[in-house]
Amino acid sequence: MGNTTLLSGLAQGLVKADSVEALASNRPLRVSAGRQAGLVAVKASRASLFEAGVVFADLRLFREHNYSLAPADGAF
């Protein structure tokens, strides 16, 4: 049961990090909303779409450790 919980938390963390990165990146039909807008959107969705504890951990990664899903050169 512990492994399932850990994997679920990791998966939720990646989904939230990806949500922030998607809002912070330019897309074909819209310009970037910015990283801060992504963090605000995820924070606003805690406890409704995302588990509050995992949102808190994600926010710490982005804010305190300058976390990003994109490679340093910006190319995928």
Q: How many CA atoms lie within 13 A of 40 on its CB side?
A: 6
Q: Is residue 13 part of a domain?
A: yes
Q: State pLDDT tens for residues 9-58.
A: 778 777 777 777 777 788 888 888 887 888 888 888 887 877 888 788 87
- pTM for this model (two decimals): 0.61
How many structural domains is the chain composed of? 1
Q: Is residue 42 part of a domain?
A: yes
Q: Is residue 31 part of a domain?
A: yes
What's the rounded Cα separation, in Å, for the pair 73 and 6? 31
Paired tokens of 23: 């809002």
Q: Is residue 37 part of a domain?
A: yes
What's the rounded Cα separation, in Å, for the pair 6 and 9? 5
Determine phi and psi for 45, rounding to 5 degrees: -95, 0
Q: What is the pLDDT of residue 69?
A: 60
Contact indicator for 35, 20 with CB cutoff of 8 Å: yes
Domain membership of residue 18 as a residue range: 2-65
